Structure 1
Amino acid sequence: MEKVSSTLEEINQNAAGIDLGSGEHWVCVPTDRADKNVRRFGCFTPDLIAMADWLIEYRINTVAMEATGVYWIPVFQILEAKGFEVKLVNAHHVKTVPGRKTDVLDCQWLQKLHTYGLLSGSFRPEDQVCVLRSYIRQRDTLIKSASAHIQRMQKALIQMNLHLHKVISDVTGLTGMKIIKAIVAGEQDPQVLASLKDPHIKSSTADIAASLTGDYRREHLFVLQQELTLYEVYQQQITAVDAEIEKCLASFEPQTLDEPPTTPRKRRKKPTANHPNFDLHKYLYRMAGVDFTLIDGLDALTVQTILSEVGLDPKRFPTVKHFTSWLGLCPGQKVTGGKLKSSQTRNVVNRAANAFRMAAFSLTHSRSALGAFYRRLRSRLGAPKAITATAHKLARLFYHIWITAGQYSDPGMDYYEQKYQELMLKNLKQKAQALGLQLIPISHPTECVS
């Protein structure tokens, strides 16, 4: 019988650990490299460069650090540029041993765990994708900030008893903005305001005029004017970010120069809300070489968010199980005593996973196989679990066409329902056979014709 070693093998002998902070960083190298193997560095850029030089002096080639707020970003970028292998680890996974907690002990604990190969680094896409991700996250932040001013404009309108939101679907659309700008400019005649409506608005001019008959108080008009100004400022900044995003997308090496394939599926004639002014779909197709929008529920904005978070290299995720596990969409497996205690998904903060969930929710009224799948699960499990399960299915489809550079073809809602009925019938036959029974289909009686 082979004897098992009782000691751990040192996997990374040239490893260092860094405990990050807002004002100082503590670095630990192996004890055989220096008399004082722990050293403190400041947070300024010259201090970080000195830290990198000190690590090079002691022949360090791999570094582990905890993900602490945003303080890790400059350290990570400088060390990576110097040629170090940097592992960014989840602080929850490297809790120190019980006892006294200090920065010195933390960096020593990280160095020890990393030496024995007990740390796994967090996923981080290639640097060019990180640049795109920064722009897209800033765009999302601006959109959320702009939405707060939309709510305040609606509040000011309601305080004047102007129920514009009840007669048009979007107060920030063409008609809504024309009316709000006219009100801010001093127009208070309901008939004049109602005449600004677009011909495609379903509400009648009389209904819109009735909704705009209210109490135009000075203080509420002042608030409306300020919120409108702030909303327009954010729209200008979003336009500026879109220009940077377009430049960044154009800088990627194209995987194909072909146009995106046309599909028989009906495309939206009107762009979705917050859609950029350039052809985002074409940029994404050429950048990835795959048209992910063929999957029902995934539009160009959703695909842009997902790709900016997962990168362009599917080989970073060895299998589809690794991909869905990283997203936190696959069922959990908590087994103790041979019994499954919980299969609840892990609580993961992931923008790509949220994008898949939003795509799943958009399938509520979709007449597709995925839409039928979501509605069946929702009727049986409820909306939250159905959204997660459908997002998991979308993620698997996404990975499949990503890794194979293939296409997705929707089999249709009728095909899905037929396959589901065949599966139910097969299960019923198996149950009946186990009970010694036999299923006999009901024959429809023929009608007697006199």
Structure 2
Amino acid sequence: MLQHGLLKASFIPPQPQRDLRDLTRYRSNLKQERTRHVNRIHKLLEETNIKLSSIFADMMCKTGRDILHALAAGEARPEVLADLALRRIPSKRDALVPALQGCMRAHHCFLLGEHLLMVEHLERRIARLDREIEERLAPQKETMERLDAITGVSQRVLETLFAEIGWDLGTFPDAAHLASWVGICPGQHESGGKRMSGRTRKGNRHAKTILVQAAHAAGKTKTYLGAQFRRMSKGRGIKHAAVAVGHSILLIYYQMLTTGQPYEEKGEDYFTKRDQQEKQQRLVKQLERLGYHVDLTPQHVA
């Protein structure tokens, strides 16, 4: 079958894209390793009864790092540690003092210092990869700026999509084939005319993961994709909504790259207007079947 051309070749991206894929996947691994060390710092502080995470949403912010470095250096006085945040967060000083009353031993200080060194080392390596990836994608800068208008899509998302899928989508006949290849479309498991499961198929897990993350970011906005996320999460749950919005983002990505069209925002009230028009048409048809002639006149409210 292969000799007679009856087998379709698998999608193999060109060498520059494969090299870019290695960099983005390696960066993702480093970010996961950094997250593990930050979680170990959280666990270490919980063991010593220091509730720093209850004060800062991001414990690795500038003020949080200053306090952590002081703790690793052996400083245990809560008032002195709280003064490190006095310049930036004066309103939280009263809450910081009781939160920093713990029982740090020399053993904990040593471990905290080691974790901080690893986090900073990983951040330097991640920053180096960011610069390398940005340099390799410099020829596509104009395309990335145009795609950045998609709700929930950031530069990191586009870098991953360019590495995993590419910017030349001629390999995929249409957007449905691309969604099936990524594995972010509903599954079709039917037996005897009965649908058994709608679980998504296996695909490119790196592209699928970044699309789901972009969907969660879009769900917090007052846009069309945000309204779609909230609308689906009420009936199907957050996970189903994230996959559906990620699928929509991928379709928009394909459409913009293949046609060159700019992103068009439909608005947060798109579904409300659509449902209103469908309800209006349904009611008009019901009255016409009963023998009435319907002439709709909008009511103007002063």
TM-score by length of 1: 0.60
Counterpart of 1:356, as a letter, is L
Does the alignment pair 1:413 with 2:268?
yes
Alignment of 1:285 onto 2:141 = yes
Please give the per-residue CA displacement for 1:171-196, whole angstroms capped at 9, x wherever unaligned.
Answer: 11111111101111222221221122
Deviation at 1:406, TM superposition (A): 1.6
Give the CA deviation at 1:148. 0.8
CA shift for structure 1 position 426: 3.1
The yes-or-no answer on 1:156 pairing with 2:44 is: yes
Does the 8 A contact of 2:74 with 2:109 survive in 1?
Answer: no
- Note if contact 2:215-2:246 (Cα within 8 Å) is conserved in structure 1: yes
What is residue 124 of structure 1 aligned with on the other side? 12
Aligned counterparts of 2:216 and 2:65: Cα–Cα separation in 1? 29
Residues 186 and 411 of structure 1: is their aligned pair in 2 closer, same or farther, counting only changes over 3 Å? same
CA distance in structure 1 between the aligned counterparts of 2:68 and 2:222, rounded to whole angstroms:
37
1:364 aligns with 2:253: no
Q: Deviations over 1:287-344 (max 9, x none)?
A: x366111111111111111111011202121111111111112233344545555444
Which amino acid letter does the alignment assign opposite residue 357 of structure 1?
A: V
Alignment-derived partner of residue 129 in structure 2:
241
Alignment of 1:105-116 (within 5 A): none
Higher RCO structure (Cα 8 Å, ≥6 apart): 2
Contact 2:23–2:133 under 8 Å retained in 1:
yes
Percent identity over paired residues: 30
Taking the aligned partners of 1:437 and 1:295, their CA distance within structure 2 comes to 47
Match of residue 103 from structure 2: 215
Task: Write the distance in 2 (CA, Å) between the matches of 1:312 and 1:236.
Answer: 29
User: Does the 8 Å contact 1:156/1:221 carry over to 2?
Assistant: no
CA-to-aligned-CA distance 1:49-85 (integer Å, 9 cap, x gap): xxxxxxxxxxxxxxxxxxxxxxxxxxxxxxxxxxxxx
Counterpart Cα distance in 1 of 2:190 and 2:77? 69
Alignment of 1:174-189 (within 5 A): 174-189=62-77
Q: Alpha-carbon deviations, 1:140-177, whole Å to 9, x = none?
A: 11111111111111111111111000001111111111
Aligned partners of 2:290, 2:210: CA distance in 1, in Å? 49
Q: Does 1:165 align with 2:53?
A: yes
Distance in 2 of aligned mates of 1:167 and 1:202: 12
Count of residue pairs the alignment pairs up: 298
Match of 1:12 among 3, 28, 51: 3
Cα deviation, residue 437, structure 1: 9.1
Question: What residue in structure 1 maps to residue 172 of structure 2?
Answer: 317
The structure whose residues are more often helix, as a share, is 2
Contact 2:183 2:203 (8 Å CA) reproduced = yes
* Alpha-carbon distance in 1 for matches of 2:151, 2:159: 15
Q: State the AA in 1 paired with 2:6.
A: G
**Which of 367, 375, 380 lines up with 2:230 in the alignment?**
375
Write the letter of the residue equivalent to 1:143. Answer: K
Q: Please tell me the residue identity of whatever aligns with 1:400.
A: Q
**Equivalents in 2 of 1:193, 1:289: separation in Å?**
43
Cα offset for 1:434?
9.2
Residue 249 of structure 1, CA deviation: 2.6
How far did 1:125 drift? 1.7
Map 1:261-340 onto structure 2 (within 5 A): 284-286=140-142, 288=143, 291-337=146-192, 340=195
Match of residue 24, structure 2, among 120, 136, 144 = 136
Q: Tell me, what secondary structure is at the counterpart of 2:170? A: helix
Secondary structure of the residue aligned to 2:137 is helix
Match of 2:116 among 215, 228, 249: 228
Separation of aligned partners in 2, 1:440 and 1:189: 78
**Which sits farther off after the overlay, 146-155 or 202-211?**
202-211
Is 2:231 aligned against 1:386? no
Structure 2 unaligned residues grouped into runs of 5+: none
Higher Cα radius of gyration = 1
Quote the RMSD (CA, aligned, Å): 2.8
Question: Could you tell me whether the CA contact under 8 Å between 2:229 and 2:241 is conserved in 1?
Answer: yes
Say if 1:168 and 1:203, in contact at 8 Å, map to a contact too: no
Cα distance in 2 for residues equivalent to 1:389 and 1:230: 37
TM-score norm. by structure 2 comes to 0.87
Give, as a single letter, the amino acid of the residue that structure 2 aligns with 1:139.
R
Paired residue type of 2:114:
Q
What SS is found at the alignment partner of 1:421? helix
- Alpha-carbon shift at residue 132 of structure 1 (Å): 1.2
Report deviation, 1:215: 1.1
Whole-angstrom CA distance in 1 between matches of 2:182 and 2:249: 12
For residue 349 of structure 1, report the CA deviation from its aligned partner: 4.2
**Hey, what's the Cα distance between the residues in 1 that align with 2:22 and 2:248?**
27
Q: Which residue of 1 aligns with 2:33?
A: 145
Aligned-partner SS, 1:169: coil
Secondary structure of 1:314's match?
A: coil
Written as runs of structure 1 = structure 2, the 5 A alignment for 1:30-69 is none
